[in-house]
Amino acid sequence: MRCVLKYLLLILAFQAIGYEIGQTTQSNMGWYDGLEKSAFTPPDIAFPIVWSTLYVLLAIAARKVYVFWRESKDHGLFLLFCLQMALNWGWSFVFFGAHEIAYGFYWIVVFDIAMLGFIAVAWRPLHKAALLVAPTFLWGLYAGYLNYAIMALN
């Protein structure tokens, strides 16, 4: 029961962070709506649904990484996970907050590389966490394409 509570608290924390990031996005939708976008851009409602789902998976992965770190003292995997999360959470502030389309694209490229690095490093010792991060990596590739299209079209 205690373990379930820890997962639930972490999921709530990730959702709260996602909500706060969403406020930055929401307050800049007028700017975003004026940009030319790819024909493959999903409707705006898709983004909070996808990110809420991904943050649940990432919170579960975070708990697994934390437990692994506490048991193994493997700082590398823990730090790599934290790095990819910081890059994840930072993109909205670069793209939406600062209106930096090109920097946003480069940010996503680095974020995708960090996620791929985490997945590769975690694959053997922490397979489930690697699998939980994989959907965010795939979405990150798609987001990179969308960001690139905006950069090319504007």
Q: Looking at the predicted structure, is the pLDDT value of residue 52 above 90?
A: yes
Tokens in use for 5? 């509570």
> CB–CB of 104/148 below 8 Å?
no
| pLDDT over 80 (residue 1) | no
**Long-range CB contacts (< 8 A, 24+ apart) of 105-108?**
105/144, 105/147, 105/148, 105/151, 108/140, 108/143, 108/144, 108/147
Are 78 and 118 contacting, i.e. CB atoms less than 8 angstroms apart?
no
The mean pLDDT value for 75-93 works out to 96
Q: Are 36 and 150 in contact (CB under 8 A)?
A: yes
pTM: 0.94
C-alpha torsion sign, points 112, 117, 118, 124? positive
pLDDT tens digit sequence for 25-38: 999 999 999 999 99
Q: Is 105 helix (H, G, I), strand (E, B) or coil?
A: helix
One-letter amino acid of 105: F
Torsion over CA: 28, 33, 37, 40 (sign): positive
Quick one: pLDDT at residue 96? Answer: 97
